[in-house]
Amino acid sequence: MARTGAIDLDGLDFLDGSNEFARFWSEPEGEQTFIIDPEALGADPFLFGMAMVDAIRHAAIAYSRVVNVTEEQALERIMEGFEAELETPTDVPRPLSGEGEPN
């Protein structure tokens, strides 16, 4: 079932055979929600760290094209937000219950 605001993956045949391991959502001016399936990525959390670095680099490229800044400027700003959230978290992560709702 497609959700409003979902990224359209139709035609991205290079994803065939891949495993989805994360989904991210953001409420306008609100919270973010993340669904993570570690089993789809692999047993070692190190792999998630590597994937997040790759995602940050891809995000810098995307932002550079959308908001008309250089990739370096976008990456610097992304890292500022990353470090700010590490230092002072704005949310407390919660696991999903068995019904798919946060506990």
Question: DSSP readout, 8-53?
Answer: P-TT-GGGTT----EEEEE-TTS-EEEEE-HHHH-S-HHHHHHHHH
**17-53 confidence digits (pLDDT tens):** 999 999 999 988 888 899 999 999 999 999 999 999 9
Domain coverage including residue 61: 46-89
Number of domains in the chain: 1
List the structure tokens of 19.
Answer: 């495993």
List the structure tokens of 23.
Answer: 């989904």
Where do we find the tokens 């500022």? 80
Residue type, 44: D
Burial of 74 (0-12, 13-18, 19+ CB in 10 A): buried
The pTM for the full model equals 0.81
On whether residue 14 sits in a domain, the answer given is no
User: What is the pLDDT, as a whole number, of residue 3?
Assistant: 81
User: What is the pLDDT, as a whole number, of residue 29?
Assistant: 86
Helix, strand or coil, per DSSP, at residue 102: strand
